[in-house]
Structure 1
Amino acid sequence: MRIDRIRLFVQTLCFVFLIYGGLSVFSIGSAIPTMACIYAENRGGSCFLYPFQRFLSMPWASLFGSAAIPFLVYLGTFFIWALVFGKTFCGWICPLGFLQDMITKIREWVGIDGSRFAWKTRDRFQWVKYALLVLLILLPMGIGNSLMGLPRFTADLAVPFCQICPGKPIIPLFAGDTSHLIIDFSSATKLILSSLSMLIAGLFLVGGFVKRRYICAFCPMAALLSLFDRIGLVGLKKKGEACTCCGNCFRACPMEIREIAELRDKKHIVTQDCMLCMRCIEVCPENKALTATIIGLPVFSASAEGFLKRQAKTAYAAKAHDDAKVLQDSVTDPESASR
């Protein structure tokens, strides 16, 4: 079975569990490094960022006093999840990532051509995810504490990222909850944040019909998980001498990471945008040029034999599709088919 089909199966299972798993009175906790939205009532697990921002909005006397042990346990739980699974959370588990992949499949099904960012454009916006990460840390901290002598921020900024995350209005829809599809006029801060939420949700839905994994390029969770790229148990290795620079890996990559094709002298190539979907390994025609590892042990490697088998199956499927179309044309318009 192809790796992209295995990934789709795992993504579907994870999506169903994270959205509806709470109905079975079972949850994997609220420290998982993925956008399992806190606003989905029957979720089977919750995004790390919501409680993280809540902790940071406490006065420092409380955060480093009575709440210190719960906070450290919470951070430790997240650390273990991130260490063990790393960027596979992005490629295999995240509900928002799954929805973006489904939008891409719909786009392909209806025949809409996608587009790519120019490399310079992609590099120019790399800072956005890190800026969002810094803001979701600093803004809550400014609620319970005075930062550099500034007045304390309004409590409406307690969870700033969750207020603009596209998951807030979109994920609850799968449980029939439309209450977050609103613009909140109760305060100026809520008006701005809820308006941004609607705008970003719109970009999430429309952007998927333009570019694969559009929102992932700006995700602060990806920025946070990138801190574990070097020490995570799941890795992606490259054997530079086996690479022929064919570019298959770059063209297949949902995140359009050019480094994976260009770098030949760097063995560890999990970059800040990599989501460890392993699609690059699947399309690589060179033996062991790319390898996925767990605790340093190879689990899936590129191979010329596997590549040729998949190419043959793809060609056979395309021919069968063309033959079926010819047969259909001959039934509906025999004269046209004979020509």
Structure 2
Amino acid sequence: MFIPIGLSISIGLFIDSNNKIKNKGLGRKIGLSLVALDLLIFLGIMQHENLQIEETVFYFAYFINTGLFTRVLVHYAIAKVFGPLIWGRGYCGWGCYTAALLEWLPIKENKTIPKKYTYIRIVVLILSLLIPFIFIKNGYDYVNRHIFSPLSSSESLPFQPYKVDQFIWFLAGNIVYYIIGIMLAIIFKKKRAFCKIWCPVALVMKLQSRISLIKIAPSGNKCIECGNCNEKCPMDIDVRNYIKNGKKILSSECILCGTCVNICPAKAIK
């Protein structure tokens, strides 16, 4: 998966680096969509894997009991736990399959999300961890299969996941996320409303993003304080305040989308 994901991101970067392309940011959207197809079609539909946080809880329990580190855990470790120490929440900007759909919604507004709604993510994160834990504790899922099936006494592993169950979680989880994401985008007039209000993964990456190596930063050109960066930022970051004071963007909400870089008339951001 690393090769197609790398190629997809490279295609996006190449398109956006082309000075003839007037719609800056189009390349990132294309790259993001290609990554989403890699993950959803190959891992989700063909391999019956689920990269949502709920399935990660199942596989973490599997790892604790068997010592087997599966590719779902590899994905989560790289993209959402240790990787953000390098690229912050770059996964949200360049690899999230939920955001890949939301980015193409025909919504021109970019309204600011009131802070009180951002706390909903905490509740969603708790439920995303609690629900699979309850399934694991009880040993059964809602279609009368064992999610972790007890093996015979002659076999060494205490349980193993069913592919059918993984596919059900994959379909259900993604359908729910897409529906909620589209509804929130329409209600709040903001494509990335889901990321600010509902996404539990955002909280998983917040601490690492704060100290990540790669950040949006001042270019050295003087900020003219036009406010375009703040107006267009999909994550409601006060970009202007960071740049005019000569500081890197330290906000854990930054997804490295580059919107502020592309929109700045003074080229004060890089």
Q: Which runs of 5+ in 1 are unaligned?
A: 28-39, 109-113, 146-151, 170-196, 291-300, 302-339
Distance 1:126 1:280 in 2: 22
Amino acid at match of 2:100: F
SS at match of 2:216: strand
- Is residue 286 of structure 1 aligned with residue 269 of structure 2? no
Correspondence for 2:229: 249
Contact 1:248 1:283 in 2 (8 A): yes
Matches of 1:284 and 1:44, distance apart in 2: 43
The structure-2 alpha-carbon separation of the partners of 1:223 and 1:165, relative to structure 1 and needing over 3 Å to count, comes to farther
Residue 278 of structure 1: how far off its partner (Å) = 0.3
Secondary structure of 1:273 counterpart: coil
Q: Which structure exhibits the higher relative contact order, with contacts defined as CA atoms closer than 8 Å and separated by 6 or more residues?
A: 2
Q: Specify the alignment match of 2:120 in structure 1.
A: 128
Runs of 4 or more, structure 1, over 6 Å off, are: 162-166
- Tell me if the contact between 2:50 and 2:170 (Cα under 8 Å) persists in the aligned partners: no
For the pair 1:168 / 2:174, whether they are aligned, the reply is: yes
Partner in structure 1 of residue 101 of structure 2 = 99
CA distance in 2, matches of 1:274, 1:248: 16
1:14 Cα offset (Å): 1.6
Matched, 1:260 2:259: no
In the other structure, the counterpart of 1:33 is none
Residues 212-247 of structure 1: CA distance to partner in whole angstroms, max 9, x if unpaired? 212111211122122221343432224799333211
Shift of 1:100: 0.6
Structure-1-length-normalised TM-score: 0.52
Shift of the 96–44 alpha-carbon distance from structure 1 to 2, 3 Å rule, reads same
1:6 to 19, 27, 34: 27
Question: Which residue of the partner structure matches residue 16 of structure 1?
Answer: 37
When the two structures are aligned, how many residues end up with a matched partner? 219
Could you tell me how far 1:130 is from its partner in structure 2? 2.8
In the superposition, relative to structure 1, how do residues 44 and 262 fare at CA in structure 2: closer, same or farther (>3 Å)?
Answer: farther
Shift of residue 261, structure 1, vs aligned partner:
2.1
Residues 123 and 239 of structure 1: is their aligned pair in 2 closer, same or farther, counting only changes over 3 Å? farther
Deviation at 1:248, TM superposition (A): 0.8
Corresponding residue for residue 52 of structure 1: 56
User: Residues 44, 138 of structure 1: CA spacing in aligned structure 2 closer, same or farther, 3 A cutoff?
Assistant: closer
* Contact 1:129-1:223 at 8 Å conserved across structures: yes
* Alpha-carbon distance between aligned partners in 1 of 2:34 and 2:205, rounded to the nearest angstrom: 22
| C-alpha contact (below 8 Å) 1:240/1:267 kept by paired residues | no
Q: Distance in 1 between matches of 2:220 and 2:116?
A: 27
Tell me, yes or no, if the aligned pair for 2:58 and 2:133 is still in contact at 8 Å. Answer: no
Q: Measure, in 2, the Cα distance between the counterparts of 1:143 and 1:45.
A: 18
Superposition RMSD in Å: 3.8
Instruction: Name the CA shift for 1:97/1:241 in 2 (closer, same or farther; >3 Å).
Output: same
- Alpha carbons of 1:132 and 1:203: their partners in 2 closer, same or farther (altered >3 Å)? closer
TM-score by structure 2 length? Answer: 0.63
Paired residue type of 2:181: F
CA distance, structure 2, for counterparts of residue 274 and residue 286 of structure 1: 21
Find 2:193's aligned residue among 186, 208, 214. Answer: 214
Shift of 1:140: 3.7
Percent identical residues = 20
The higher radius of gyration belongs to 1
Paired residue for 1:234, among 208, 214, 223? 214
1:116 corresponds in structure 2 to 111
Contact map agreement 2:49 2:170 (CA 8 A) in 1: no
